Structure 1
Amino acid sequence: MEKGNPFVASLHEVENQLELSLRQAFVSLEPKLQPPFSLDIPDQQEFLELCRAIVYAVLCDSNHSKTHIKHLHALVTDGYAFFTSLLVGVVVELYGKLVDSAKVQLLWLTKEMIGVSSVGLEELLVSLLRRIGSGDYGEQNVWLCSELVSLFLDKWGCLLEDIPLVLTSALYSFLRLLADHCRVSGIPKLEHLKRLEIKFCVKMFKEQLHLSLKIGRDLVRLLQDLVHISEFKDIWSDLVCSEVSQIYQLKTSSRYFLLRITPEMETQLRFLLGNVKLGSHKRHQMWFLKKFLLGPEKETLLVDIVRFICCVVHPTNEIIRSEIMPRWALIGWFLELCKQNPQVEQRVKLSLFYDWLFFDEKVDSIMNVEPAALLMLWSIPQYPHITNSLLEFLLRLVDSYDITRRDMIMRGVASAFREIERKGVVPSLDMFLSSPEIAADLKKKLANLLSCR
């Protein structure tokens, strides 16, 4: 690889401060990056600048990577914490601007940091997992996914010993990605990737089941999409027979929902739900649609986005009382976007209602069930078909999601309804039970459900 700029030049963007600091450090210290190296111990500021210069140098030039990393080893006094934080910054802020050769170098540096068990390694690996795009079957995205699943397989022992929880993050990511990858056939590199993903996920379940179960109830939701794959049939049967009731009761940590949302998407969703007022929201929505959701398979992203909004984006009371676009309104728009694909629409609705099925007011947050409740409530006057559709879906879930644990699910959904009334999310459940706009059979089923104790 020829030495050159590791970043794609842009004429219209303000230069990123991290990119600027890396390049400036490299330009000023380039002579000091060549052996023989100085025997003087650098002070703190010089050390930080040398770390920046080495990151830039390795991203630029693979021919001297090993020399640069040896130089780093001789300097480090902080467990590689600052160097790794720079790599995290590159992944989060600059990954989209890296040229292909620099992405290869970034993965090489990541493996080097695994080798030295660097401080901050888990954050680096999680940041890289977030860079795998859902519904993207382009060469670069398939390459990144293949590289990362191979890395987790190759470095299994080190990661299990040093940062075992990162393996659960990888399992969540690859289970979710595999469901999308199995929808597409005829791409040779994707077929190879699917085999690697299956190998990693099955290894996790067979060798580290206790770690796998730490994901919580959303593990069941992910596995449901994979039961048609022969390697997962026994895993599914074993879980359903022995562990599933306990898994249902374990709320999935919000950190898992971030894994399938890129940093740019997270920024835009938080902006939409924290700054944009109703009335001026449509142009922001269309920008989001064009930026992230256009493409034949991109709508599967809506499953992850809705889960992220329900479980991670919890607005303050000040925002809730303001004119800023509420979560339920954005989710309503997302449901409209996937109406042409019934399979995706069903998965998005399940993503919206999933915490209702196992709701326990002692464990679960009312904020996770609030968007669905308000979407049903505020749709009654003008869009009663939405309320009826959602309520019908929820009540059908109660009857059919897990027949052997139907009583548990009935209690969960009834508990969620009572809690949204008790906490004042809705003024009264009579707004559902007495509305002439809601189908009579749905009101009857809801009333029967709410009478359960």
Structure 2
Amino acid sequence: MTTSDLLRICAHDAENPTDSSLREAFSSLHARLKPPFPLTIPSPSEYSQLNQALIYGVLTEPHLAKVHLTHLHAFVTDGYNLFTTTLINLSNESYPKLLQTPRSQLLWISSKLIQVAAVKVETLIISLLRQIRGGDFSEPNLWLCSMLISILVDSWDWLLEEPLAIQCSLFVFLRLLSDHYRLVGRVDLDKLKRMEIEFCIRVLRKNFALCLGIGRDLIRLLQDLVFVPEFKDVWSDLLFYPEKFGVPDFMDISRLYRTRTPSHFFFLTITPEMETQLRFLLTHVKWGNQKRYQAWFAKKHFCTPESETVIVDIVRFICSAHHPSNKIIQSNVISRWAIIGWLLNCCRKNYLLANVKLALFYDWLFFDEKMDNIMNIEPAMLLMVNSMNQYVDITRTLLEFLFLLVDNYDVQRRELILKGVSASFSLLVKKGVVHSLDSLISCDLLSPALREKLASLISSPKLSSIKRLLETCGQQIEVSSTKKCRVEFGR
């Protein structure tokens, strides 16, 4: 079996092509990697091979890393683009398998590339942020958190020049802080929590104009930190003194509510490995075969009670970032709503279950057809209507939670939320996701009070006119389901 100084390789693993090419380049050019360095200009092929050799040397020879970096500085002609791009690919594809020394060196060289403003270094940092796992309190994961927050703090001036990097960093560390702060009795976490708090507060106070680009999910993340003393003033100012953030056109929190969070933020809180597995589940697994894949996924990613917090991230990813094609929707592939129904069943803590439901309905609360995507709200609707026959408790609890949000999420802006939820139901009927809502209103398994609330909500002129139009056209009053199959929510 081939051994590697770069990756952890098991007996059944196929040869890693990136590892092979880096190792071969290093082996063939090893004699040229020591000073004095040649003064000749390398050809394009030699330039590529030399970059690969130096990457392998930097990652596997920490005692010579500074020499290799000096060599790189001496001949680089592309703004470090090839060097950085290779590191990004290595991080995305192989970070979980990197040995500890290469991991440490990868963080070290990333900080050095920031110092020289290397091309794509912000993408490299974002790639490393994606490798942090939510709900994971293992030593390697906490080490990665500490290393990255330290790099960001030390590189503040660079960070201010990279809007996407500062937004992504804030998004990730607000999310992680909600996990880290809940875990008490871990002295080793105190320093990390302090750094995360100070970093997030600094970004929010000094660069709020950039923070607005995150959109409404910034509020969802901050809401999870209301119990952190340092964030109380932030919340107070958001609600009552928005002018303190120094952004002229930010006069009310509703500005953030009305801003849809761009989909790329939802990739940040799931690892590339998890994304690949979710994509496979949602594009290749057929109805009737999903239970064994779900069990495997749960065993791998929800193996501890703490790790279940990542379910919130997965639901936001499925709703807001994974939008299947019509070909997939019309096929026999397991639907997004069914996967979310299973994920709800995986939650063992009440507060976590509430957060998952909020993640599912969050875009409903502020929905605007002109700027929001119907695919973000479709899974919740289909989950409710397709659960009525065999899993009516899911329909009931979801509707109850939705009405609870309408009445209590933000009492001062209830009309805005009521408008968003009403617009969601309206568009879902208008676009034929469901032919009508009569099946919900007339479901005897739901309480009269719940059906009355729903009927009241959808009695707006817009929804009533849609219903009359469908009846006039002679369309059958039934739930429109993209699937006719039996749902399996069991773990």
How far is 1:165 from its partner?
A: 2.1
How far is 1:164 from its partner?
A: 2.4
Query: In the aligned structure 2, how far is the partner of 1:71 from the partner of 1:395?
Result: 63
From 366, 384, 389, the equivalent of 2:374 is 366
RMSD (CA atoms): 1.1
- How do residues 187-266 of structure 1 correspond to structure 2 at under 5 angstroms? 187-241=186-240, 242=242, 243-266=252-275
Query: In the aligned structure 2, how far is the partner of 1:54 from the partner of 1:320?
Result: 46
Match of 1:352 in 2: 360
SS in 1 for 2:428: helix
From 302, 311, 322, the equivalent of 2:320 is 311
Match of 1:118 in 2: 118
Query: In the aligned structure 2, how far is the partner of 1:82 from the partner of 1:335?
Result: 43
Match of 2:481 in 1: none
Match of 2:472 in 1: none
Q: In the alignment, does 2:164 pair up with 1:165?
A: yes
- How do residues 20-99 of structure 1 correspond to structure 2 at under 5 angstroms? 20-99=20-99
- The residue type paired with residue 418 of structure 1 is S
- The residue type paired with residue 72 of structure 2 is L
Query: In the aligned structure 2, how far is the partner of 1:395 from the partner of 1:190?
Result: 38
Query: In the aligned structure 1, how far is the partner of 2:58 from the partner of 2:428?
Result: 54
> CA deviation digits over 1:270-293, x for unaligned, max 9?
000001001111111111111111
Q: In the alignment, does 2:405 pair up with 1:406?
A: no
Q: Which moved more, 1:107-116 or 1:8-17?
A: 8-17
Match of 1:152 in 2: 152
Query: In the aligned structure 2, how far is the partner of 1:75 from the partner of 1:205?
Result: 40
Q: In the alignment, does 2:430 pair up with 1:432?
A: no
- The residue type paired with residue 441 of structure 1 is A
Query: In the aligned structure 2, how far is the partner of 1:245 from the partner of 1:270?
Result: 33
How far is 1:63 from its partner?
A: 1.2
Query: In the aligned structure 1, how far is the partner of 2:389 from the partner of 2:289?
Result: 22
Q: Is the 8 A contact 1:410 1:452 kept in 2?
A: no
Query: In the aligned structure 2, how far is the partner of 1:38 from the partner of 1:55?
Result: 18
Query: In the aligned structure 1, how far is the partner of 2:106 from the partner of 2:179?
Result: 26
How far is 1:452 from its partner?
A: 4.4
How far is 1:227 from its partner?
A: 1.2
Query: In the aligned structure 1, how far is the partner of 2:15 from the partner of 2:160?
Result: 39
Match of 1:328 in 2: 337
Query: In the aligned structure 2, how far is the partner of 1:296 from the partner of 1:212?
Result: 31
Match of 1:416 in 2: 424
Query: In the aligned structure 2, how far is the partner of 1:300 from the partner of 1:195?
Result: 21
Query: In the aligned structure 2, how far is the partner of 1:206 from the partner of 1:141?
Result: 28
Query: In the aligned structure 1, how far is the partner of 2:439 from the partner of 2:124?
Result: 48
Any unmatched runs of 5+ in structure 1? none
- The residue type paired with residue 129 of structure 1 is L
- How do residues 270-289 of structure 1 correspond to structure 2 at under 5 angstroms? 270-289=279-298
> CA deviation digits over 1:179-212, x for unaligned, max 9?
0111111222211100000000010111111111
Query: In the aligned structure 1, how far is the partner of 2:326 from the partner of 2:96?
Result: 35
Aligned length: 448
Q: Which moved more, 1:34-43 or 1:244-253?
A: 34-43
- How do residues 295-310 of structure 1 correspond to structure 2 at under 5 angstroms? 295-310=304-319
Query: In the aligned structure 2, how far is the partner of 1:176 from the partner of 1:83?
Result: 30
- The residue type paired with residue 356 of structure 1 is W
Query: In the aligned structure 1, how far is the partner of 2:163 from the partner of 2:67?
Result: 30
Q: In the alignment, does 2:453 pair up with 1:445?
A: yes
Q: In the alignment, does 2:187 pair up with 1:179?
A: no
- The residue type paired with residue 16 of structure 2 is N
> CA deviation digits over 1:7-56, x for unaligned, max 9?
22321110111111111111111111111111111111111111111110
- The residue type paired with residue 53 of structure 1 is A
Query: In the aligned structure 2, how far is the partner of 1:88 from the partner of 1:190?
Result: 28
Query: In the aligned structure 2, how far is the partner of 1:452 from the partner of 1:266?
Result: 40
Match of 2:247 in 1: none
Query: In the aligned structure 2, how far is the partner of 1:158 from the partner of 1:200?
Result: 14
Any unmatched runs of 5+ in structure 2? 243-251, 462-491
The alignment-based identity, stated in percent, is 50
Query: In the aligned structure 1, how far is the partner of 2:32 from the partner of 2:180?
Result: 46
Match of 1:15 in 2: 15
Query: In the aligned structure 2, how far is the partner of 1:323 from the partner of 1:158?
Result: 48
Query: In the aligned structure 2, how far is the partner of 1:10 from the partner of 1:336?
Result: 34
Query: In the aligned structure 2, how far is the partner of 1:101 from the partner of 1:178?
Result: 27
> CA deviation digits over 1:39-84, x for unaligned, max 9?
1111111111111111100111111111111111122111111100
Q: Is the 8 A contact 1:6 1:60 kept in 2?
A: yes
Match of 1:379 in 2: 387
Match of 2:486 in 1: none
Q: Is the 8 A contact 2:406 2:417 kept in 1?
A: yes
- The residue type paired with residue 263 of structure 2 is S
> CA deviation digits over 1:97-119, x for unaligned, max 9?
11212111101110111011111
Query: In the aligned structure 1, how far is the partner of 2:130 from the partner of 2:143?
Result: 14
Query: In the aligned structure 1, how far is the partner of 2:117 from the partner of 2:180?
Result: 32
Q: Is the 8 A contact 1:185 1:191 kept in 2?
A: no
- The residue type paired with residue 274 of structure 1 is T
Q: Is the 8 A contact 1:149 1:197 kept in 2?
A: yes
Q: Is the 8 A contact 1:328 1:371 kept in 2?
A: yes
Runs of 4+ in 1 over 6 A off after TM superposition: none
Query: In the aligned structure 1, how far is the partner of 2:386 from the partner of 2:191?
Result: 47
Match of 1:138 in 2: 138
Give the alignment's TM-score, normalised by structure 1.
0.97
How far is 1:296 from its partner?
A: 2.2
Q: Is the 8 A contact 1:142 1:189 kept in 2?
A: no
Query: In the aligned structure 2, how far is the partner of 1:297 from the partner of 1:61?
Result: 36
Q: Is the 8 A contact 2:6 2:19 kept in 1?
A: no
- The residue type paired with residue 345 of structure 2 is E
Q: In the alignment, does 2:69 pair up with 1:101?
A: no
